[in-house]
Amino acid sequence: MDGIRYDVAVLGGGPAGAALSLALRRHSGLRVALFERSTYAQPHLGETLPPDSRRLLAQLGVWEAFARQGHLRSMGSCSRWGASSLGYNDHLRSPWGTGWHLDRARFDRMLADEATRHGVDVRTGTAVTEWKALEDGGHRLFLPVEGDAPRAFVDARFVVDATGRSATFATSQGARRHTVDRAFGLCGTFALQPGRTVDALTLVEACEDGWWYSARMPGDQVVFGLMGDRDSLQGLLPKDAEAWRARMARAPETLGRLEACAFTGEPLRAVPANVACLDLLHGEDWLAVGDAAFTLDPLSSQGTSQALRSAHQAADAVSRYLRGDFTALRLHEVRVRHQFQEHLRIREGYYRLERRWPSAPYWRNRQQSHAPLPFAAASNPLSVGKNA
């Protein structure tokens, strides 16, 4: 691979990076390389795809491969939010059918395999952390080597940063992450006890400390998470699962689900849940996508589906840019800004619905106005496209 030149190098093989690589190959024929630091073997916390993701998977050409994986069907969600009674949002009336509780490791691996099948040069176990700009445009990316082996590299006309929240490449180019809301969660996954079960609905339950999330996962497991912030979860540590469970007493629906599981008190996992965006989404020869570009509130349950959606949009922008349409990246950025601002608007409305604990730190923090965004308000992207 040393010295090979690609049209596009994608750093990060999660859903956004793998889907973008696949879309570029299928629709433009560009020479694409995908570099992923993992081998897709590590476990992920459970995630859910909504029913309309079937359309996104079909557009990528991976619907059949996805369907063969047998992910657990999701029948919808229920929530105790803003009131003491449960509200339901089932998928019975969805024209797309049910959603899915994902085995994320298998899902990511499938996307990478499909990218390989369509001609993407996929390199797993390859963390690209060094690069330099080339005089004639593009970047030289240095690959990890062992021992005293010669330093290997590849060149790329264009780089896509899909490295997640770290946005490793974009921040090296001067981009900075603007955080609207600093939040995190403490999560654990537990096996169902023999003969016990929980329904296939995702459950969201607000409490004084923040809100609980739980969902059935493939393999007779259930994932639980308490989402809060530094003020509401002060002193609560991942290793103290018993204290975490004690707080669940304020969320009786969630507690009922945990009692169906073999709770062993094993250490939990702390996961970031910041709502944030980059102040710079692209340069002349690079673009940030997925969580590298912006991160949504997990309350929306749109992380993976948004990654797939943004991959389609970004692949089209990159392809047009490399064909000489130098407005493509700017127009893509306007669309992304508009999507992020719309997310903030909808999110604010949901948090204002919950008024049972107005003086509790978590809810008081959510009612405060966020700092101004470090970029101009985005216009309607359709009107911008007409004026371009």
pLDDT in tens, the chain (388 residues): 457 999 999 999 999 999 999 999 998 989 999 999 999 988 777 788 999 899 999 999 999 999 999 998 888 899 999 999 999 888 767 777 888 999 999 999 999 999 999 999 999 999 999 999 999 999 999 998 876 677 899 999 999 999 999 999 999 999 999 999 999 999 999 999 999 999 889 999 999 999 999 999 988 999 999 999 999 999 999 999 999 999 999 999 999 999 999 998 889 999 999 999 999 999 999 999 999 999 999 998 888 999 999 898 999 999 999 999 999 999 999 999 999 999 999 999 999 999 999 999 999 999 876 666 766 554 555 444 444 3
> Which domain-ending residue is among 247, 271, 295?
271
**Reduced to 3 states, what is the DSSP secondary structure of residue 292?**
helix
**Based on the domain organization, do 16 and 124 belong to the same domain?**
yes
Query: Is residue 65, in this structure, part of any structural domain at all?
Result: no
Query: Is residue 17, in this structure, part of any structural domain at all?
Result: yes
Cα(143)–Cα(154) distance, rounded to whole angstroms? 8
Cα(341)–Cα(348) distance, rounded to whole angstroms? 11
Query: Is residue 87, in this structure, part of any structural domain at all?
Result: no
**Based on the domain organization, do 165 and 205 belong to the same domain?**
no
**Based on the domain organization, do 209 and 341 belong to the same domain?**
no
**Based on the domain organization, do 282 and 382 belong to the same domain?**
yes
**Based on the domain organization, do 358 and 341 belong to the same domain?**
yes
Comparing C-alpha atoms, which of 348, 355, 316, 354 is closest to residue 332?
316
pTM assigned to the model? 0.91
Query: Is residue 250, in this structure, part of any structural domain at all?
Result: yes
Query: Is residue 59, in this structure, part of any structural domain at all?
Result: no
**Based on the domain organization, do 281 and 370 belong to the same domain?**
yes
**Based on the domain organization, do 264 and 317 belong to the same domain?**
no
- For residue 242, count CB atoms less than 10 angstroms from its CB and return exposed for 0-12, middle for 13-18, buried for 19 or more: exposed
> Which domain-ending residue is among 271, 302, 330?
271
What contacts 144, CB < 8 A, 6 or more positions away?
126, 127, 128, 129
1-23: pLDDT as tens digits: 457 999 999 999 999 999 999 99
At which residue do the structure tokens 């797939």 appear? 308
Task: Give a three-class secondary structure readout of 28-70.
Answer: HCCCEEEEECCCCCCCCCCEEECCCHHHHHHHHCCHHHHHHHC
**Based on the domain organization, do 256 and 285 belong to the same domain?**
no
Q: Where are the alpha helices (DSSP H) in the chain?
A: 15-28, 53-60, 63-69, 104-117, 168-172, 241-247, 252-258, 303-322, 328-353, 361-367, 381-387
Query: Is residue 73, in this structure, part of any structural domain at all?
Result: no
Q: Which tokens belong to 285?
A: 């020869």
Cα(347)–Cα(94) distance, rounded to whole angstroms? 23
Cα(236)–Cα(9) distance, rounded to whole angstroms? 41
Cα(275)–Cα(181) distance, rounded to whole angstroms? 5
Question: How many domains in the chain?
Answer: 2
Domain range for residue 201? 192-271
**Based on the domain organization, do 216 and 242 belong to the same domain?**
yes
Query: Is residue 51, in this structure, part of any structural domain at all?
Result: no
238-252: pLDDT as tens digits: 999 999 999 999 999
Query: Is residue 90, in this structure, part of any structural domain at all?
Result: no
Confidence at residue 296, expressed as pLDDT on a 0 to 100 scale: 94
Domain at 278, CATH number = 3.50.50.60
Sign of the C-alpha dihedral computed for residues 230, 235, 241 and 243 taken in this order: negative
**Based on the domain organization, do 367 and 260 belong to the same domain?**
no
> Which domain-ending residue is among 271, 294, 314?
271
67-84: pLDDT as tens digits: 999 998 888 899 999 999
**Based on the domain organization, do 217 and 303 belong to the same domain?**
no
**Based on the domain organization, do 258 and 358 belong to the same domain?**
no
Percent of the chain with pLDDT over 70: 94
Cα(131)–Cα(255) distance, rounded to whole angstroms? 49
